[in-house]
Amino acid sequence: MSATVEAARAILRDNDRGGYTVPTAGLYPYQWNWDAAFVAMGWITFDEPRAWREFERLLEGQWADGMVPHIIFHGPKSDYFPGPDVWKTRAPVPTSGISQPPVLATAVRHCWEAGRDGTLAEDRTAAIYPKILAWHRWWVEARDPERGGLLGCLHPWESGMDNSPAWDAAFARVAPTPATPIRRSDTGHVGADMRPSDDFYKRVIALIDLYASLQWEPRALWARTPFKVADLAINAILHRANRDLLALAERFGTAAEREEIASRLELTASAIDRLWSEAAGLYLPFDLIAKRPIEAPISAGFLPAWAGIADAARISTMAATLERWAKKVRYLVPSTSPEDPRFEPRRYWRGPVWCMMNMMIAEGFRAAGASDLAARIKSDTAALVSRAGFHEYFDPQTGVGLGGGHFSWTASVALSWPLLSAASGE
């Protein structure tokens, strides 16, 4: 066993809290939604029962309406802010009130196909499939009530890309006047220059206060929110997840469910297609309140390749865009274009490289035939981990590891998308 694999496995074991995996100790002391999906794909490489347990613990927090929250507050109380007392949700298990990019169906399909124990994989997938279907239906009901095909993201944290410059203009509509006092704990673990600003925190908490006052009722949130954007991560990842859910439905679902999923795929492919920007050379998010594209070139703009809906001409254009970015940084893929004046190489989603984003972007390009670019992204990812360790994210210019250390989804990417061969040139 290589030292990289051994170290990655050790991180998952160290961050295991009894069937769920914290992203890293201290900074993120609970179970996060899309983290759990990537983490399960790491566990499946060496401990299949533990991978399935990760999914089960995540789904303990699923709401009656199908929503899978972005944080499940398992375990003892910590100083994490905002905790359950701020979210004020009414779920039986304490959770946040919003969701996150829905990687779950893709991860479950991956584990189902990778499972070494056929009976275990079959039984666990059969039990999980209807819960994923319920979650995907929630996305349609709660975040696309007008059935236009594009899901609306109602909170920056729901996008998973919290302080991305893509949200700046839309987020300006949220007054920085929360009723809840701000008690930031994150900057006690990580330098403030790597984290969102205090102004950002005032606005995200103000949104939570508004939604809590509406008792998290989806139609009320949709009608009252000042922040409503068609986020590329949520939309592209859910499209890919529905493709994977359709594959699961062939084995575990009904004909009516397969027809439902296929119909949604047809609608969302057409809707995401409208987000293409020839001028930007990638897909752009869309402000659903201002009803205009958001002129922010971010790494999520390449995810329609992962979703499988970008044609050959657009793959070529996106590849050229990313090659241009590569001339400005040492390591791909920065979360914000280094050509953009809002680019900050150390600050969370305003510039740093994220390994799980690299995996999705690279695999999208690889599947579309841009194998050289895919190999470059994977090689850069391997080099970052090899030189800096399993950090939350990385400076695209220097390769310095940033954010939390000993990070679970970075370790999981190294296991499920083997980086050793890329690092050694094999």
* Encoded tokens for 416: 């499920």
Which is catalytic among the residues 158, 186, 257, 392?
Answer: 392
Residue ranges for the chain with pLDDT beneath 50? 421-426
**Taking a C-beta distance cutoff of 8 angstroms, is the pair 11, 5 a contact?**
no
Residues 6+ apart with CB under 8 A from 401: 384, 388, 389, 391, 392, 393, 394
Predicted local confidence at residue 187, as pLDDT: 83
**Taking a C-beta distance cutoff of 8 angstroms, is the pair 219, 146 a contact?**
no
Q: Which residues pair with 393 in a beta bridge?
A: 402
Q: Which residues pair with 21 in a beta bridge?
A: 16
For the chain, state the CA radius of gyration.
Answer: 20
Q: 29-67: b or e for each residue (b if 16 or more CB lie within 10 Å)?
A: bbbbbbbbbbbbbbbbbebbebbbbbbebbbebbbeebb
For tokens 């241009």, the residue is 324
Tell me, yes or no, if 392 is annotated catalytic. yes
For tokens 């400005």, the residue is 328
Q: Across the chain, how many H-helices and E-strands are there?
A: 18, 9
Tell me, yes or no, if 162 is annotated catalytic. yes
Domains, the chain, ordered by start: 3-419 (1.50.10.10)
How many C-beta atoms surround the C-beta of residue 278 within 10 A? 9
Predicted local confidence at residue 194, as pLDDT: 78
**Quick one: which H or E segment has residue 401?**
strand 401-402
Which is catalytic among the residues 48, 158, 162, 231?
Answer: 162
How far is CA 283 from its chain centroid?
A: 17
**Taking a C-beta distance cutoff of 8 angstroms, is the pair 300, 234 a contact?**
no
CA distance 382 to 364: 18
DSSP per-residue string spanning 293-335: E----BGGGGHHHHHT---HHHHHHHHHHHHHHHTT-SSS-BS
Predicted local confidence at residue 1, as pLDDT: 65
The per-residue pLDDT for range 204-239, each reduced to its tens digit, is: 999 999 999 999 999 999 999 999 999 999 999 999
CA distance 385 to 145: 42
N- to C-terminal Cα separation, the chain:
16
pTM for the full predicted model: 0.97
